[in-house]
Structure 1
Amino acid sequence: MLDTMLDVRALRTNGDLPMVVEPRDAGVPIEAAASALHALVDEYLPTHGGVLFRGFKVDGDAAFREFAASFGHSLLTYEFGSTPRSKVAQGVYTSTEYPPHQHIPLHNEQSYTRDWPMKIWFYSVLTAQEGGETPIADSRRIYARVPQDLRERFASKRLMYVRNFGNGFDVPWTQVFNTEDRAEVEAYCRAHRIACEWKDDGELRTRQLCQAVAQHPVTGDWVWFNQAHLFHISNLEPDVRETLLDVVGEEDLPRNVYYGDGSPIEEDALATIRHVLEAEKISFPWQNGDVLMLDNMLAAHARSPFKGPRKVVVAMAQAHGADR
């Protein structure tokens, strides 16, 4: 049987995230091993949060898409996204298209909303000449490590994310909502409990009240689950921050976040959270053909700066939401 031809181990000697699954004979097509890999995912993903498939043959984006879809959930479109991506195939997207020199901090995909994917896959098509890792971290450990008073404050107050689309500063609303029809945008916002308004210049502003922590629907674990440290203006470089405030003012910043009651989040609180995230970060070099599968609630992910060409594509599935 194929499962007897697979090796399973922890990637690191001092931790169990991610678990690594490798074929004993190199070059086994990943789709041929899918049924055995499903069983291993059922066993390891809820406890470890992430599984790295290494050494399998992945014959391009189509094979990756087929593998991700084989877990039984339709692949999701990237709706209400916060970063620029390009569609590679149905349900498959490029990783965030930020300049190579920029670092993307740890986060759980779409934790700035009330709806998010439970599963996310990354496929390393081409590794960078230098850097370009996708660091990960255990969201349960982050939750436990955030000081209790800060964790309770965030949990009780919740978070309000404010976004101003377009104007050359952020992703245009037509791309974020995959439509040029204002009525479709308004309908989406009503369905997802997002307050929206059209500004005098024709651009869109949204506000949404969201969770800061969440309980996993299957394991029952509590996890740190928000993007306050990413959306807050303190995440910007000081010169960029000053320029934006001079040009558009706080109300029209491309993105910002407040406590749920609209009061400002203390910058020292966000500094503490960033310190925790950095302390929990797990980084490892990609190999061409690697596929990393994460439980999006149990594990956060990031991106390191890189040099040279790099291609990592992403798929997401199994929609879940705070109101479901």
Structure 2
Amino acid sequence: MSAFTVRPLLEGTSLPMLFEASGSSILLSDALPEMRPEIDKHLRTGGGVMFRGFDLDGADAFRAFAGDFGHPLLTYEFGSTPRSQVTKGVYTSTEYPPHQHIPLHNEQAYTRDWPMKIWFYCMQAAPEGGETPIADSRAIFNDVPEAIRQAFVDKGLMYVRNYGNGLDVPWQQVFGTEDKAEVEAYCAKHGITCDWKDDGELRTRQVCQGAARHPVTGEWVWFNQAHLFHVSNLEPEVRESLLDIVEDEEELPRNVLYGDGSPIDDATLETVRDVLKQHTVIFPWQSGDVVMLDNMLTAHARTPFKGPRKVIVAMAEAHGQH
């Protein structure tokens, strides 16, 4: 008898495909060799799978399971959000306040280097909310209006970040060092322009892709975080307050322009957000669930929640364009 069954988790969509234990006390790692061909197939076609009902005993077992796919787990370098390391190669999910919604995005799509695979392990499901919505990045690419899509493909995007000053993550945390020379070396290696400002804080600029071709399937995917970094992502009162503080949009904690330095208007990003919303798939977590995504084919998000919630994350299979 097989240790698992496979079916769509939700009616009407194969994202994610559910791999469910056929009995009790089946270790997820033990079932992996039998499941692996099916996992690989559904990651290519659908972009994401869920494992439910298997035994998985904590963060170290999760790390071992993710590592069994054959690639070293990645460190969270050049991060844009606060996280904490749980164990080697495993991190908390983004540590934003529970009431905040985190929009759909592909992990580290604001860089030229990103993980191809990402895993989420729900150690404790929130009693209310806290889902991890997902969406097909190929479908998003196809449904973004052609003029917007072509501008993103042709021009790329320039991400501008100003660190620290109590407004964003300190550069010391982002780069994992207090040594400015190490920061400069990292930036030089990864095609990032860095400038030390008079107050000792850091500004970086990096031109990256607005969309990309998947290296295995060859399909175009919507692959950026423009809608998160752009100033229009801020609530109007927050935007006004920040501009009162910094006086110039160049000094905002983060913003995004087209790759040639020209501005992206608010309406363009609102159109993109509408497309993202149309393709959002939401499912409830159960404690013990693991979701595995092809990070280029599938975007992820987080809904607000109440009560305790613990979801941890691992990433692997680096893909770089620098």
1:127 aligned residue (118, 125, 128): 125
In the alignment, which residue of structure 1 is the partner of 2:312? Answer: 313
Deviation per residue, 1:27-69 (Å, 9 max, x gap): 3111111212322222211111000001111100010000001
Q: Distance in 2 between matches of 1:69 and 1:36?
A: 16
1:207 aligned residue (205, 208, 226): 205
Q: Distance in 1 between matches of 2:149 and 2:49?
A: 28
Unaligned runs of 5+ in 2: none
Q: Distance in 2 between matches of 1:38 and 1:288?
A: 23
In the alignment, which residue of structure 2 is the partner of 1:74? Answer: 72
Shift of 1:12: 1.5
In the alignment, which residue of structure 1 is the partner of 2:153? Answer: 155
Q: Distance in 2 between matches of 1:238 and 1:291?
A: 36
My pick for the range that moved more, 296-305 or 37-46, is 37-46
Shift of 1:5: 2.7
Amino acid at match of 2:97: P
Amino acid at match of 1:20: L
Give yes or no for the alignment of 1:302 onto 2:301.
yes
In the alignment, which residue of structure 2 is the partner of 1:282? Answer: 281
| Secondary structure of residue in 1 paired with 2:53 | coil
1:24-35 superposed matches below 5 A: 24-35=22-33
| Secondary structure of residue in 1 paired with 2:28 | coil
In the alignment, which residue of structure 2 is the partner of 1:14? Answer: 12
Shift of 1:321: 1.6
Give yes or no for the alignment of 1:242 onto 2:246.
no
Q: Distance in 1 between matches of 2:49 and 2:21?
A: 14
Q: Distance in 2 between matches of 1:252 and 1:134?
A: 32
Amino acid at match of 1:258: L
In the alignment, which residue of structure 1 is the partner of 2:184? Answer: 186
Shift of 1:152: 0.5
1:33-72 superposed matches below 5 A: 33-72=31-70
Q: Distance in 2 between matches of 1:29 and 1:176?
A: 36
In the alignment, which residue of structure 1 is the partner of 2:169? Answer: 171
* Aligned residues of 2:43 and 2:294 also touching (Cα < 8 A): yes
Give the fraction of aligned pairs with identical amino acids, expressed as a percent: 67
Amino acid at match of 2:141: Y
Q: Distance in 2 between matches of 1:51 and 1:5?
A: 16
Amino acid at match of 1:221: E
Unaligned runs of 5+ in 1: none
My pick for the range that moved more, 145-154 or 224-233, is 145-154
* Count of residue pairs brought into register by the alignment: 321
Shift of 1:317: 0.3
